[in-house]
Amino acid sequence: MNCSIAPGKILLFGEHFVVKGKPALGLAVSMYVHVCVEPGSWVIYSRQLGFINHDSKHRSLFNTLIEKIISEYSSVQPLNIYIDSELPIASGMGSSAAVAVATTHAILSFMGVEFTKEEVWKIAHEAEKTVHYKPSGVDTTLATYGGFLYYRQGSFEKLDLKLPEGTSLIIVNSRVGRSTGEVVKDVLSRYEHLGEIGELIYSAAEKIVEKALDALRKNDAETLGELMLVNHGLLWAMGASSEICDKIVYDLLKAGALGGKISGAGRGGVIIGLINNQELPRARELLSMKNHEFYFVHPDYQGVRSVE
């Protein structure tokens, strides 16, 4: 049996604004999809979803990546695939991309062929297209390579940055589903309606990414948290937030976070916060009292890899 893991991701800054050519900053985090493969008969089982049968909507992702592997590396003997994911599904943390990346890596490792992370990325990205019509590649890139990622208009740059010393990230799952396409459409509609004001908001979002990069280089957690709040405010102004998302941001601040914001499409999904490590016990107590589903995470700088 060969097993691989791939990390999930969050967007620290820039979501929605990328649609109009502004930059975004993503980060791979220490929540993982675990995939193991062994000889079998193409049984695919997910601990979260159960058996993924041939008529399942989730099956197309696996069919595509298997076809791509066969086209690149010749035949593949029938395998069984087992998936266990720590990522909440459809929450903006890149769960389908992490599944595609970890599965591709596990199968190629089992085959014993020589391969690079770039080849894993290419196969997984093609599989992602069966889940998201035109994926940006951000989720697949972070699951494959880990670390910080600067993204603008289809261009990716892996950044040699670290989270400020002595800090952690909090991820809170709102447990609210939403249509990413619908939120994106509504935000773009507001942008067009606002005209010059919309352009100013998007320009401010670009400046926030620049200031955030500077804060990361300077190990400045306080400024980074403040910028997260300002970014959340801009997303709220464009209609990407909701009452529950705003409430969670306030709960994070009450729990000691330096800042917080939605991560991804908004109106649900996950909300993230930055916190000093000495505040973690207090945050755990207060967030538990509010019955939130939350996780303390750190950056994952390695990306996809084999595990025992």
The catalytic residue positions are 139
Is residue 6 within 8 A of residue 30, CB to CB? The reply is no
Is residue 293 within 8 A of residue 269, CB to CB? The reply is no
DSSP-assigned beta bridge partners for residue 29: 8, 299
Dihedral-angle region of residue 163 (phi above 0 means left; psi in -120 to 50 means alpha; beta otherwise): beta
Report the alpha-carbon angle 139-105-27, nearest 5.
25
Q: Cβ contacts of residue 61 below 8 Å, gap of 6+?
A: 96, 99, 100, 127, 128, 130, 131
Q: Cβ contacts of residue 258 below 8 Å, gap of 6+?
A: 167, 221, 222, 224, 225, 226, 228, 273, 274, 275, 276
